[in-house]
Structure 1
């Protein structure tokens, strides 16, 4: 190595820290290293007065000086640096101290829930009173009421508000009114996570939460009995745990929906060459695993799989893939706008005879595709037909929607919110006075082969789910089937 080079400190300004000094390194053009030699650029680069420059392509026995300071200085003998172990880096000058950068917000994952246990404090006992000193029963709900799937969150919220407003007008639950604290997450994992954190310490009860990723990250907190979640819209099988005593589901799982759709396609339409189109996130990935499990029961496999990014409507790559493999049926596990784009473009490319199947989240596209393209898309639903069902609870829903939300279209999501809120109110009436969390959970667990205004519910202890029925909608204006 060459002999040490003397340098002169030059002030450098680093915002927002105070002015500090740092050495100016000699500007050289790096070339591949040569063993036991120091190689620098062939042409000396001018430097300010007093800064030495090692001559190019020569051993460092002589020191050349810039013409601005012709008086040479005798070089000091170099000190032998002892060998350092590989893991122990050479001693460096004291680093420049800068203000600490802000900690980035990480997206929730399966592991984050375990790190959040301490944050949420102590276990919530079953005798926890659901009403406060103002005689209000507080309940939180985190839904996507903005963003790419805002119709789902808005509709579910409408259904809940119909029931809660009517209940409060009739005197509430033992003179206690229900207060729904709605929060919007825009279908973003980070926002959903922060919204849960923001309200959990104030009140631990949630209803109807949608985001699968956030729910999965909070599952350990639920298992530790530090929060309670009722009737989430997520259909993930992994969330249906017997040991998650503070979580109760209304809707069947996504696996149940996929089973109904594939049964319809294979038995009724004799489809065997089936592909999958799905959303790239935890919900979509888990749904595809369930789909693989279901299709094996029929002795076949999917001929292809393609995905689109979460919160995106760009399906270009999936169009190319489906056009290449030409399946006779496509199972769509996604939301309404991406599914609409996929179906519309594939039909334009000549796939009119392809059978399109979609889980219930895509139900908003049915009428639109029928009117615009004359295309029928087969969808699943976890609730009966909101437009035509003769179940008394659904008839009551239609009457109240017409009275209070006349400008809204009937949908399976507002009906699901209506049914969820109706069951919640019914269970609250059985939860004691004042109602407690333990009393509410016991009331929900007590539903065995029961009907709430005609809607069938039966609590399954292993999956902690109240409903197991899936309806299949064969297309616009067609009769729904239970498969």
Structure 2
């Protein structure tokens, strides 16, 4: 078989065949990430990608997975759904990745799956920054989650507010599939807890114009606000709402990066903001996963990035993906990877367990609520 024929064969597997002068040949497994690297959610895409790269660096430094090295190939979709579809299609055609990892956005992932691009390529998507119910039931064949659902996060928020004696609650949400999923989850959880939904206020995706939502919610004088919003919009809402409503408890979904909110509006304004988390604290946490990521960070720091929950989420996604690749054998294909993931049960990622069946791709259920301290850092 010629080198050209062999290289083409490896490309069909999502591998690249590389030759080094005076060195043995080695296979490189390419993994694709399409996420916002520009626009209002650029920090999110970059931090998820940094977490993935961190784990790849750790694995590659130890000899790779089944002797193969890992390479992350990224593309920017600017948090625009049509661009997600375009960039994924081009990445699959030009780079032949074995899998995708670290996608961002409910609407983006929903439109991507509906486009047929994923099914046509038969390419697994391991880890997406979305917790929407419609992306879990029924389980999409090739989407494997590594975070808790928005429903789980919202229930944790409602339970926390209920324990604080809060009864009248408003919901601030993004006016798209992501926000509406969270809104419906909040309605259900509030009803079950016997609490009142007194107002809702929405904003447009990729916008930080939250003035209408602030006015509507402020008029209802809620005791608490559930925020189903991204980082930029969350920061804008807190900055506009809080000065006149300092006693109202605000809790945002995990897609809001608390320290980024503090950077945008200042530590004093952000202090006391609650944020749900779907991974343990990577900086001060005592879990085995947190200790592992800190050690990896010390050995393979990612330039221009601070270690945070979003980075750890990317790291967790990559760890699940690599375990699937390991179980798929020395010559993994997309189909073998999907089969390996569907058979993964109780995989311990460091104090958390991840597992899938063909009918259930939820993967993880971990949630906790943190509060920003006076330094803009999340604490329990």
What is the 5 A alignment of 1:353-392?
A: 353-365=247-259, 367-368=262-263, 371-373=267-269, 375-392=271-288
Report the TM-score when normalising by structure 2: 0.85
- Residue 444 of structure 1, CA deviation: 2.4
| 1:255 is aligned to 2:129 | no
Equivalent pair of 1:142/1:185 in contact (CA under 8 Å): yes
Match of 1:464 among 361, 365, 372: 361
- Residue 242 of structure 1, CA deviation: 4.2
Equivalent pair of 1:276/1:305 in contact (CA under 8 Å): yes
By percentage of residues, which structure has more strand?
Answer: 2
> Corresponding residue for 2:80?
188
Equivalent pair of 1:192/1:211 in contact (CA under 8 Å): no
Structure 2: 5+ residue stretches without partners: 1-11, 19-26
1: CA distance, partners of 2:304 / 2:28? 30
Equivalent pair of 2:258/2:275 in contact (CA under 8 Å): no
Instruction: Tell me the number of residue pairs that the alignment of Structure 1 and Structure 2 aligns.
Output: 351
SS at match of 2:225: strand
SS at match of 1:327: coil
SS at match of 2:15: coil
> Corresponding residue for 2:127?
231
> Corresponding residue for 2:330?
433
Equivalent pair of 1:278/1:307 in contact (CA under 8 Å): yes
Equivalent pair of 1:430/1:443 in contact (CA under 8 Å): yes
Q: Provide, for residues 257-295 of structure 1, a one-character-per-residue CA deviation record: whole Å limited to 9, x for no partner.
A: 1111111111x2111100011112221122212222222
Report the TM-score when normalising by structure 1: 0.68
2: CA distance, partners of 1:405 / 1:275? 39
> Corresponding residue for 1:213?
107
Q: Which has the larger radius of gyration?
A: 1
| CA shift in 2, pair 1:374/1:445, >3 Å | closer
| 1:167 is aligned to 2:59 | yes
Equivalent pair of 1:235/1:252 in contact (CA under 8 Å): yes
Equivalent pair of 2:225/2:248 in contact (CA under 8 Å): yes
SS at match of 2:31: strand
- Residue 206 of structure 1, CA deviation: 1.1
Q: Provide, for residues 200-226 of structure 1, a one-character-per-residue CA deviation record: whole Å limited to 9, x for no partner.
A: 334262111113223212324345673
By percentage of residues, which structure has more helix?
Answer: 2
Structure 1: 5+ residue stretches without partners: 1-127
RMSD: 2.3
> Corresponding residue for 1:395?
291
SS at match of 2:39: coil
> Corresponding residue for 1:143?
35
